[in-house]
């Protein structure tokens, strides 16, 4: 066995906090965080008002509705121009509303921060709340209500909130209740905005490659004249102390039962929050956590189990959640009770606590890898206690936690008689139960080839003390047959369940004990094993990955549990109307070809998998010439090459897979399918066969996808904005080895499906006849490039991307060439591509509507 038992090193410290705070005379606070490592920036406006601040309109979702209306036009810009102006500056805009805040953010290039600030100021101060736009947007949000009604996770979360809270407005969902929402008018929406959207109740945070002095001049230019107003804070009602057990349960159209347990805890700023967060990790935050080991791995009764804290500034809940087959729910609940009682009685072992602390600290580092993440960390600290170093004080409390602290927190808060228990049951089963009584600046990627043919990619990035490892092998859908579909994904999960040297629990704990994480999965083209660790632990990660890849033991007890979870994932896909529509169109287009299936396989093929079929898939895939390992982060290339040779040099060379590298001939003829699903939404999908990953037309189709997928697109403006027919509308380009497809999709009121289909077909026909306009193409290029820049901020994403491109024959430098490739695309080139692939007679049509 390799020497991997390393002693605990001192945990790397957070980089210095250089953020600056400024305050304008009108009360607006500005947080600036300069980081010249990236040519990108995140500009965020935080409004200290959310669903908890709706007062007499609590439960109406006014805060969320105002967020939507902020994009619907100002005195200076129309609704479509807001998104287009941001995209023309290389920005990506979005917003979210939660209990105690509404946040508007633009991520883009640093040189355009002045423009982003001007647009945010215009939205915050100049939104018109046009009555016609409000009516259309309310209809859009009614579709959002339908989506939440269709989602079992939302249903169980809302049930827990309404049962756990009696007086506090956290008992209501952020989106509100449809009946109350329908009673709110323009005056109520505009009144919420006028009351809360004042400079002395907001703050800005700007992070990235900025010039702080220049940014402050821009802020003053656009925000100084924003008038301060008297603001009386909203006083939260006092929530009565819960002194007895509460419960609720209901049926839902789902195949999977869901259980959620909650206990009241204090809010984000409380001194006990650190202990509660770490306690949640110990119980259900990692693969080696107590609940996962007991319920998933040992007993095999839960498809998913986890624990976490959910809170606003004032108060929150400590939650344990599980998903299981309905017949196993009682066993799940009994096992959770045993695990919780053990933690209350004896607490964690010292090494468990060390692992949890390291994971919390490494997670804090990883959040800071993007400008948006850095901005959010600072803003959250400021919102919680008005201190930019609050998160650091929180992490110091985490580092000082003891086993005794964990026992005290568990005994203080996780008390059986003060538990709220809710559950969701498949339709028809509840009555039966009752009856039965139961970038950094881009560094150079260095490429090496080992003697066994394994390709190694290394990139040195010392900005943060983190290292990402990805070992990828050609596998997946192109090499699977109908009989063993899904075998790559099952095999990937099984590899981590035991080796000749280590048990499943030892594998799960090894990196987590050091604040790291192990991943393994299979997707369309590959089997992937990876790790995220802090600097100094890359040797440990490589040793573990080599064991998993070279000496898996495939312990037989784990196969049924892995199969059960994968089948649960397949069943969950059947609960989302859009996924159902997309999967069916894919099946029709690729009939008789591998891509008619997804990486999950089918219920039948997964059930039929055996140790022999999984070993065969492993033996076929994990070979030197068939793989790429990429290691990005704070490492020295020459040294890491030696370590890879040490751990993986003994891998058999084998041969490289050729599956999928030749174009697949699609012979299926267009069809029309009408599907029913016990949901409230309607979904339309038009699918067209296109080209594979290596085809020269991929960049043209990528630009069409980009141009048709954003909030400024022709589809969005025509179908959602102008006609108010849909909640969501967009496109998806699928390019795989040897084949591809393009999907147009819309989600809407089922009664409007015919009208929606008519309008979508008109738009597709116009695209086929005329291609993209020059202004559409330019916006698509700018938006795409800004997104491309953002993807380079994390080592894990970059290691994954470079490895994927190298594995699929594009070369690891392909991602660096993409801007040049995209910039060269012209409207003249796009027009014949659109005409060739989007002719009406080529359309595969699937509609999903309620039973």
Per-position b or e across 611-647, b if 16+ CB within 10 A of its CB: eebbeebbebbbbbbbbbbbbbbbbebeebbebbbeb
pLDDT band at 227 (very low <50, low <70, confident <90, very high): very high
The distance from CA 812 to its chain's CA centroid, rounded to whole angstroms, is 25
Element (H, E) at 628: strand 627-633
| Tens-digit pLDDT profile for residues 124-146 | 999 999 999 999 999 999 989 99
Residue 165 near residue 59, CB atoms below 8 Å? no
Nearest-angstrom CA–CA distance, 73 and 80: 8
pLDDT of residue 12: 66
Nearest-angstrom CA–CA distance, 70 and 86: 14
CB count, 10 Å around CB of 345? Answer: 10
pLDDT of residue 5: 33
Strands 92-97 and 20-23 come out as unpaired
Is pLDDT at 441 greater than 70 in this prediction?
Answer: no
Q: Residue range 432-450: average pLDDT?
A: 62
Nearest-angstrom CA–CA distance, 446 and 457: 6
pLDDT band at 312 (very low <50, low <70, confident <90, very high): confident
| Tens-digit pLDDT profile for residues 45-71 | 999 999 999 999 999 999 999 999 999
Is pLDDT at 195 greater than 90 in this prediction?
Answer: yes
Q: For 155-164, 597-606, 786-795, which range has the lowest pLDDT when averaged over its residues?
A: 786-795
| pLDDT mean across residues, the chain | 93
Strands 627-633 and 466-474 come out as antiparallel
Q: Residue range 439-454: average pLDDT?
A: 78
Is pLDDT at 669 greater than 80 in this prediction?
Answer: yes
Q: Residue range 589-602: average pLDDT?
A: 96
Nearest-angstrom CA–CA distance, 618 and 527: 9
pLDDT band at 810 (very low <50, low <70, confident <90, very high): very high
Is pLDDT at 14 greater than 80 in this prediction?
Answer: no
Nearest-angstrom CA–CA distance, 413 and 462: 41
Residue 652 near residue 623, CB atoms below 8 Å? yes
Mention every residue, 6+ apart, whose C-beta is less than 8 A from residue 151: 575, 576
SS3 category, 659: coil
Q: Which residues pair with 474 in a beta bridge?
A: 526
Burial of 514 (0-12, 13-18, 19+ CB in 10 A): buried
Nearest-angstrom CA–CA distance, 335 and 333: 5
Is pLDDT at 686 greater than 90 in this prediction?
Answer: yes
High-pLDDT (> 70) share of the chain, %: 97
| Tens-digit pLDDT profile for residues 690-719 | 999 999 999 999 999 999 987 878 898 889
Is pLDDT at 307 greater than 90 in this prediction?
Answer: yes
Nearest-angstrom CA–CA distance, 581 and 594: 18
- Taking Cα atoms as reference points, which of 219, 139, 169 lies closest to residue 63? 169
Q: Residue range 187-209: average pLDDT?
A: 97
pLDDT of residue 173: 96
Q: Is the Cα dihedral 837, 838, 840, 842 positive or negative?
A: positive
CA dihedral 834, 838, 841, 844 (to 10 degrees): 160
pTM of the model: 0.88
Strands 420-426 and 315-324 come out as unpaired
């Amino acid at each position: 066995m390799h020497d991997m038992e390393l002693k605990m090193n001192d945990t790397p410290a957070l980089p210095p906090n250089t953020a600056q705070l400024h305050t304008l005379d009108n009360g607006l606070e500005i947080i600036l965080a300069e980081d010249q490592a990236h040519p990108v920036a995140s500009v965020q406006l935080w409004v200290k008002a959310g669903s908890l601040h709706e007062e007499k309109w609590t439960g109406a979702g006014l805060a969320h509705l105002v967020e939507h209306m902020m994009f619907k036009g100002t005195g200076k810009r129309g609704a479509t121009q807001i998104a287009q102006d941001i995209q023309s500056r290389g920005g990506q805009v979005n917003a979210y509303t939660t209990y105690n805040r509404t946040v508007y953010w633009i991520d883009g290039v640093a040189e355009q921060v002045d423009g982003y600030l001007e647009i945010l100021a215009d939205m915050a101060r100049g939104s018109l709340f046009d009555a016609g736009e409000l009516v259309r947007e309310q209809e859009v949000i009614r579709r959002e209500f339908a989506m939440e009604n269709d989602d079992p996770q939302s249903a169980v979360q809302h049930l827990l909130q309404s049962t756990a809270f009696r007086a506090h407005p956290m008992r209501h969902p952020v989106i509100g209740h449809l009946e109350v929402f329908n009673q709110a008018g323009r005056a109520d929406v505009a009144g919420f905005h006028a009351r809360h959207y004042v400079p002395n109740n907001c703050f800005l945070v700007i992070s990235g490659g900025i010039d702080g002095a220049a940014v402050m001049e821009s802020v003053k230019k656009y925000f100084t004249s924003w008038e301060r107003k008297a603001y009386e804070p909203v006083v939260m009602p006092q929530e009565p102390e819960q002194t007895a057990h509460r419960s609720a349960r209901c049926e839902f159209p789902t195949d999977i039962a869901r259980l959620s347990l909650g206990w009241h805890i204090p809010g984000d700023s409380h001194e006990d929050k650190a202990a509660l967060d770490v306690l949640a990790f110990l119980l259900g935050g990692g693969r080696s956590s107590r609940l996962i080991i007991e319920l998933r791995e040992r007993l095999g009764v839960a498809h998913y189990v986890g624990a976490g804290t959910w809170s606003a500034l004032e108060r929150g809940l400590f939650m344990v959640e599980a998903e299981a087959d309905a017949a196993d729910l009682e066993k799940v609940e009994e096992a959770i009770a045993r695990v919780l009682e053990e933690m209350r009685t004896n607490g964690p072992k010292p090494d468990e606590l060390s692992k949890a602390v390291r994971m919390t600290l490494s997670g804090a580092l990883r959040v800071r890898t993007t400008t948006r993440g850095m901005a959010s960390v600072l803003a959250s600290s400021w919102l919680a206690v008005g201190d930019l170093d609050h998160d650091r004080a929180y992490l110091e409390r985490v580092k000082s936690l003891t086993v005794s602290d964990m026992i005290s927190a568990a005994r203080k808060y996780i008390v059986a008689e003060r538990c709220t228990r809710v559950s969701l049951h498949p339709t028809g089963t509840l009555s039966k139960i009752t009856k039965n009584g139961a970038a950094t600046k881009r560094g150079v990627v260095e490429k090496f080839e080992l003697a066994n043919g394994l390709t190694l990619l290394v990139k040195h990035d010392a900005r943060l003390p983190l290292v990402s490892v990805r070992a990828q092998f050609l596998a997946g859908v192109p090499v699977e047959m109908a009989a063993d579909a899904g075998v790559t994904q099952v095999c990937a999960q099984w590899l981590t369940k035991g080796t000749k040297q280590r048990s499943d629990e030892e594998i799960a704990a090894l990196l987590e004990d050091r604040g790291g994480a192990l991943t393994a999965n299979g997707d369309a083209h590959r089997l992937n094993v990876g790790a995220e660790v802090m600097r100094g632990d890359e040797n440990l990660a490589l040793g573990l990955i080599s064991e998993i890849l070279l000496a898996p033991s495939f312990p037989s007890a784990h196969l049924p549990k892995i199969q059960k979870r994968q089948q649960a994932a397949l069943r969950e896909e059947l609960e989302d109307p859009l996924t159902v529509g997309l999967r069916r169109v894919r099946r029709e287009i690729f009939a008789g070809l591998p891509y008619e299936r997804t990486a999950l396989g089918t219920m039948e093929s997964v059930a039929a998998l055996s140790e022999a079929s999984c070993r065969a898939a492993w033996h076929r895939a994990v070979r030197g010439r068939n793989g790429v390992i990429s290691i990005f982060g704070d490492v020295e290339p020459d040294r890491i090459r030696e370590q890879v040779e040490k751990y993986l040099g003994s891998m058999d060379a084998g041969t490289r897979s050729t599956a999928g590298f030749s174009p697949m001939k699609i012979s299926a003829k267009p069809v029309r399918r009408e599907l029913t699903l016990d949901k409230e939404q309607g979904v339309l999908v038009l699918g067209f066969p296109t080209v594979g990953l290596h085809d020269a037309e991929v960049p043209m189709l990528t630009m069409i996808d980009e141009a048709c997928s954003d909030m400024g697109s022709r589809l969005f403006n025509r179908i959602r904005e102008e006609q108010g027919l849909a909640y969501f509308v967009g496109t998806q380009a699928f390019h795989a080895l040897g084949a591809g497809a393009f999907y147009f999709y819309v989600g809407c009121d089922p009664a409007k499906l015919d009208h929606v289909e008519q309008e979508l077909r008109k738009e597709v026909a116009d695209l086929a006849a005329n291609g993209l306009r020059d202004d559409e193409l330019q916006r698509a290029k700018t938006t795409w490039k800004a997104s491309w820049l953002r993807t380079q901020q994390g080592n894990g994403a970059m290691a994954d991307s470079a490895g994927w491109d190298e594995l699929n024959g594009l070369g690891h430098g392909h991602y660096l060439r993409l801007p040049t490739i995209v910039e060269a695309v012209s409207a003249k080139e796009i027009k014949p591509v659109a005409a060739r692939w989007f002719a009406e007679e080529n359309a595969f049509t699937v509609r999903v509507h309620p039973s």
